[in-house]
C-alpha cells in the first residue's frame, strides 16, 4: 500500500461527499453523486481514485468525449495521482497500458470495445448522458459504479443507480460565493402553445426541435435578441444558446450586422477550430459565442452574460446551459441572463431545481410527486411587468426598477404577448445606465462652462428627471464623454424647449393683438 500522494485537500463539498460515500459504501453497489458546477467534481474523482489505488485496486474513469481524456489525465497528475499509473484508452495512444491501475477512457471508445472485466471501480463523468452500452455494463457487472453529474435529473437514472449522494447544492454554492450570482430578465416570450412535444430518453419530454427552430428563427425574435443585448448586455462576454445550426447562423449574422463579432460553435466544430474560436472569445476579439446544444466540452472560459434562445422543458438542458455563466472570475459581480425562450417562466431559477431522490425511484403513486409539483410552482419567479426582471417568488416590489404592481396584478405577466413584445421604446435601464447618463450630463455641463455658456445644476437634474421620471440620487459626479444617445436627447430637449418658447411667444403676441383691437373703455368716475 502506498501513501496518499495527492497535493490537494478536499473542500467542504468534497469532504461531505466522501463522508456520505463511505457511510453508504457497504450497503450499495452503485452511487450517483450530485456534483454541481463549482463543487470540484474532477478533484472529488481524484480523491476516490486515490483511495482505491492505495489499496492496489483498479479504477476506470469514463469521460463523455475523447477530447476530455488528456484534460482529465492532466488534472489527475496535477492533483498528485501517479502519472506512471495512468493509462489513456484512446486509439494507439503512447500512454495506453491495460495493466495500469488508472484507466481513463471516453464513453464513445468503450462502446466500440470489449469492456475490461478486471476493474474494481467504474467512475462515469456526466452520467446523465444516455449511453446504452454503458447502462448495460452497469446492470450486468458486479464492480462498484459511481456516476458524477451536475444534473442527475434524467428519467432513467433511478433504474441504474441505487442511491443519490448529494453533498451540496447550486443554491449553497452561490450563497458561499463559489458560484456567481445571477440576474434573470425575460425581454421576450414566444408563443409555444401550438408546439408539439416528443419524448427523449435522456431529457424526458421536450419540444419538437423543428417546430421551435422555425419559431425562434423569426426575423422579429432574432432582431429582439440582438437589440436587447446591444441595449442591456453591457458588452459582456456572452454565450447565446440556439436550437439548430441554421438558427445559430441567423443570430450570428444579425449580431455581425450590428457590428458585434459573433461566432458559431457546435458539437461538429473541429477540435482545432474550436480552440481557435474559444481563444478569440477569451481575448475579447469575439464577443458572443453562439452555441447549439448545452454542452461545450472542456469549455471553462469567463462568461458574464447568457442569452437563452432555445425553448425547453428539460431541467437538464436548462441547468447545463445557465451553469456556463455561473463560474466565478476576477471582477465578476453577477451573470446577466436574458431568457428569450420562456424557459424561466416554465422551469424557474436553476438553483431551485433540486431532487432528493433519483428519477423513476418514485412510481408516481405516492403523494410526494404532486407535492413536489406544488412546491415547484410556489418557487417559480414572477416577471416584473415594467422592466421584465424575473423577481424571486414572494417578492412584490421589483428590486431592479422599483415597480409596484397593483393589488391582484402580480400574476403571470402578459401571456398574450408575442415575440414582438420588445420594441425600441421598451428599453430597460439599469442603475449603471443611469449613472452613465448622469456622468455624461455633468460632462456636458462642464463643456458649456468652458464655452462661457454655463447651465445650472438644476438643469442637469431636470434633464435626468425628464429621461427617467425620477430625480437623480446617490450618483457620483465623475464626468464621462458624451455619447450620441445622450447628445441626441439633449438636442431633442432643446428643440422641444425652443418649440414651447416659440409657441408661448406666439400666444403672447396673439393676446397683445387682441388687447390692442379691443375698444378703450371710458372712465367710470
Question: What is the pLDDT confidence band of residue 4, given thresholds at 50, 70 and 90?
Answer: low
Question: What is the pLDDT confidence band of residue 496, given thresholds at 50, 70 and 90?
Answer: low
380 and 356 belong to one structural domain: yes
Name which of 47-51, 166-170, 458-462 the model is least confident about: 458-462
101 and 156 belong to one structural domain: yes
Phi, psi of 269 (to 5 degrees): -65, 125
489 and 406 belong to one structural domain: no
User: Does residue 525 fall inside a structural domain?
Assistant: no
357 pLDDT more than 80: yes
Q: Identify the CA nearest to 103 among candidates 52, 28, 177.
A: 52
Count of alpha carbons within 13 Å of 238, Cβ hemisphere only? 32
* Angle in degrees, 0-180, between the axes of helices 68-79 and 41-54, rounded to the nearest 10: 60
The better pLDDT of the pair 505, 140 is held by 140
Domain boundary among 136, 168, 200: 168
Across the range 163-191, mean pLDDT stands at 95
Q: Which long-range contacts (CB under 8 A, 24 or more apart) does 403-410 make?
A: 409/385, 410/382
Across the range 502-519, mean pLDDT stands at 73
Question: What is the pLDDT confidence band of residue 46, given thresholds at 50, 70 and 90?
Answer: very high
pLDDT digits (tens, 9 = 90+) for 408-440: 454 444 433 332 333 334 457 788 888 998 999
304 pLDDT more than 70: yes
Domain boundary among 393, 426, 459: 426
**Alpha-carbon distances of 365 from 190, 295, 371, rounded to whole Å:** 34, 34, 12
pLDDT digits (tens, 9 = 90+) for 147-157: 999 999 988 99
Residue whose C-alpha cell reads 459511481 in the numeric block = 146
Q: Identify the CA nearest to 305 among candidates 327, 279, 280, 330.
A: 327
CATH of the domain at 25: 3.40.50.300
Domain boundary among 407, 426, 445: 426
194 and 224 belong to one structural domain: yes
Cell digits for 269?
466544430
**Domain tally, the chain:** 3
Q: What is the residue range of 70's domain?
A: 12-168
Q: Identify the CA nearest to 92 among candidates 109, 76, 75.
A: 109
Angle at 19 between CA 13 and CA 23, to 5 degrees: 145
Question: What is the pLDDT confidence band of residue 200, given thresholds at 50, 70 and 90?
Answer: confident
Residue 115 pLDDT: 80
**Alpha-carbon distances of 309 from 220, 237, 240, 257, 426, rounded to whole Å:** 13, 17, 7, 19, 20
239 and 128 belong to one structural domain: no
Name which of 32-36, 72-76, 377-381 the model is least confident about: 377-381
User: Does residue 203 fall inside a structural domain?
Assistant: yes
Cell digits for 149?
453529474
User: Does residue 3 fall inside a structural domain?
Assistant: no
Cβ proximity of 128 and 154 under 8 Å: yes
Question: What is the pLDDT confidence band of residue 373, given thresholds at 50, 70 and 90?
Answer: low
Question: What is the pLDDT confidence band of residue 145, given thresholds at 50, 70 and 90?
Answer: very high
- Cα–Cα distance for residue pair 380/339, rounded to 1 Å: 14
Cβ proximity of 216 and 365 under 8 Å: no
Cell digits for 144?
462498484
Burial (CB count <10 Å: 0-12, 13-18, 19+), residue 479: middle
Across the range 26-54, mean pLDDT stands at 95
44 and 69 belong to one structural domain: yes
* DSSP helix/strand/coil, 428: coil
Cβ proximity of 307 and 238 under 8 Å: yes
520 pLDDT more than 70: no
User: Does residue 350 fall inside a structural domain?
Assistant: yes
Question: What is the pLDDT confidence band of residue 294, given thresholds at 50, 70 and 90?
Answer: low
The better pLDDT of the pair 4, 161 is held by 161
Residue 201 pLDDT: 72
pLDDT digits (tens, 9 = 90+) for 310-337: 999 999 999 999 999 999 999 999 999 9
The separation between CA 424 and the C-alpha centre of its own chain, rounded to angstroms, equals 24
Question: What is the pLDDT confidence band of residue 406, given thresholds at 50, 70 and 90?
Answer: low
Cell digits for 424?
425600441
pLDDT digits (tens, 9 = 90+) for 228-252: 999 899 999 999 999 999 999 999 9
314 and 392 belong to one structural domain: yes
Across the range 396-406, mean pLDDT stands at 82
- Cα–Cα distance for residue pair 50/2, rounded to 1 Å: 10
484 pLDDT more than 50: yes
Q: Over pLDDT 90: what percentage of the chain? A: 54
pLDDT, averaged across the chain: 85
The separation between CA 486 and the C-alpha centre of its own chain, rounded to angstroms, equals 31
User: Does residue 336 fall inside a structural domain?
Assistant: yes
The better pLDDT of the pair 63, 370 is held by 63
17 and 154 belong to one structural domain: yes
The better pLDDT of the pair 323, 525 is held by 323
311 and 459 belong to one structural domain: no
The better pLDDT of the pair 395, 192 is held by 192
pTM (2 d.p.): 0.74
497 pLDDT more than 80: no
417 and 276 belong to one structural domain: yes
User: Does residue 30 fall inside a structural domain?
Assistant: yes
203 and 352 belong to one structural domain: yes
Cβ proximity of 491 and 447 under 8 Å: no
User: Does residue 7 fall inside a structural domain?
Assistant: no
The better pLDDT of the pair 173, 432 is held by 173
Phi, psi of 406 (to 5 degrees): -65, 155
User: Does residue 210 fall inside a structural domain?
Assistant: yes
66 and 184 belong to one structural domain: no
Residue 376 pLDDT: 60
Name which of 173-177, 267-271, 288-292, 502-506 the model is least confident about: 502-506
pLDDT digits (tens, 9 = 90+) for 57-102: 999 999 998 888 999 999 999 999 999 999 998 877 888 898 999 9
Q: Over pLDDT 70: what percentage of the chain? A: 87
Amino acid at each position: 500500500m502506498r501513501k496518499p500522494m495527492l497535493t490537494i485537500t478536499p473542500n467542504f463539498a468534497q469532504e461531505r461527499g466522501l463522508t456520505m460515500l463511505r457511510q453508504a459504501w457497504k450497503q450499495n453497489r452503485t452511487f450517483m453523486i450530485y456534483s454541481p458546477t463549482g463543487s470540484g467534481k474532477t478533484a472529488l474523482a481524484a480523491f476516490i481514485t486515490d483511495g482505491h489505488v492505495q489499496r492496489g485496486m483498479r479504477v476506470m474513469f469514463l469521460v463523455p468525449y475523447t477530447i476530455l481524456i488528456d484534460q482529465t489525465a492532466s488534472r489527475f497528475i496535477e492533483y498528485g495521482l501517479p502519472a506512471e499509473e495512468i493509462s489513456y484508452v484512446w486509439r494507439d495512444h503512447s500512454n495506453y497500458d491495460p495493466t495500469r491501475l488508472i484507466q481513463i477512457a471516453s464513453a464513445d471508445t468503450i462502446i466500440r470495445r470489449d469492456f475490461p472485466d478486471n476493474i474494481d471501480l467504474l467512475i462515469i463523468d456526466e452520467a446523465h448522458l444516455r449511453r446504452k452500452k454503458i447502462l448495460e455494463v452497469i446492470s450486468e457487472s458486479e464492480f462498484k459504479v459511481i456516476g458524477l453529474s451536475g444534473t442527475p435529473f434524467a428519467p432513467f437514472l433511478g433504474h441504474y443507480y441505487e442511491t443519490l449522494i448529494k453533498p451540496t447544492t447550486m443554491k449553497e454554492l452561490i450563497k458561499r460565493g463559489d458560484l456567481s450570482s445571477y440576474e434573470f430578465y425575460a425581454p421576450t416570450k414566444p408563443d409555444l402553445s401550438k408546439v408539439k412535444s416528443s419524448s427523449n430518453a435522456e431529457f424526458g419530454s421536450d419540444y419538437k426541435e423543428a417546430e421551435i427552430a422555425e419559431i425562434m428563427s423569426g426575423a422579429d425574435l432574432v432582431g429582439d435578441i440582438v437589440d436587447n443585448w446591444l441595449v442591456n448586455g453591457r458588452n459582456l462576454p456572452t454565450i447565446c444558446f440556439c436550437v439548430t445550426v441554421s438558427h445559430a447562423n441567423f443570430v450570428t449574422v444579425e449580431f455581425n450586422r450590428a457590428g458585434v463579432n459573433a461566432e458559431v460553435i457546435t458539437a461538429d466544430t473541429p477540435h482545432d477550430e474550436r480552440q481557435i474560436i474559444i481563444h478569440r472569445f477569451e481575448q475579447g476579439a469575439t464577443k458572443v459565442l453562439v452555441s447549439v446544444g448545452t454542452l461545450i466540452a472542456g469549455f471553462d472560459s469567463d462568461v458574464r452574460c447568457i442569452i437563452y434562445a432555445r425553448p425547453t422543458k428539460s431541467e437538464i438542458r436548462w441547468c447545463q446551459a445557465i451553469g456556463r455563466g455561473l463560474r466565478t472570475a476576477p471582477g465578476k459581480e453577477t451573470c446577466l441572463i436574458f431568457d428569450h425562450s420562456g424557459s424561466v417562466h416554465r422551469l424557474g431559477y436553476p438553483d431551485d431545481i433540486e431532487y432528493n431522490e433519483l428519477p423513476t425511484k418514485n412510481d408516481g403513486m405516492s403523494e410526494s410527486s404532486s407535492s413536489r409539483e406544488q412546491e415547484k410552482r410556489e418557487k417559480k419567479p414572477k416577471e416584473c411587468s415594467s422592466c421584465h426582471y424575473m423577481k424571486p417568488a414572494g417578492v412584490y416590489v421589483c428590486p431592479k426598477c422599483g415597480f409596484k404592481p397593483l393589488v391582484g396584478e402580480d400574476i403571470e405577466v402578459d401571456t398574450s404577448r408575442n415575440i414582438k413584445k420588445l420594441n425600441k421604446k421598451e428599453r430597460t435601464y439599469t442603475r449603471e445606465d443611469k449613472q452613465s447618463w448622469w456622468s455624461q450630463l455633468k460632462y456636458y455641463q462642464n463643456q458649456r462652462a468652458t464655452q462661457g455658456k454655463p447651465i445650472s445644476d438644476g438643469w442637469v437634474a431636470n434633464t435626468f428627471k425628464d429621461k427617467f421620471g425620477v430625480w437623480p440620487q446617490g450618483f457620483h459626479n465623475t464626468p464621462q464623454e458624451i455619447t450620441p444617445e445622450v447628445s441626441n436627447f439633449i438636442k431633442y430637449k432643446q428643440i422641444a424647449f425652443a418649440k414651447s418658447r416659440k409657441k408661448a411667444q406666439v400666444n403672447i403676441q396673439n393676446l397683445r393683438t387682441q388687447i390692442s383691437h379691443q375698444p378703450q373703455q371710458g372712465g367710470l368716475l
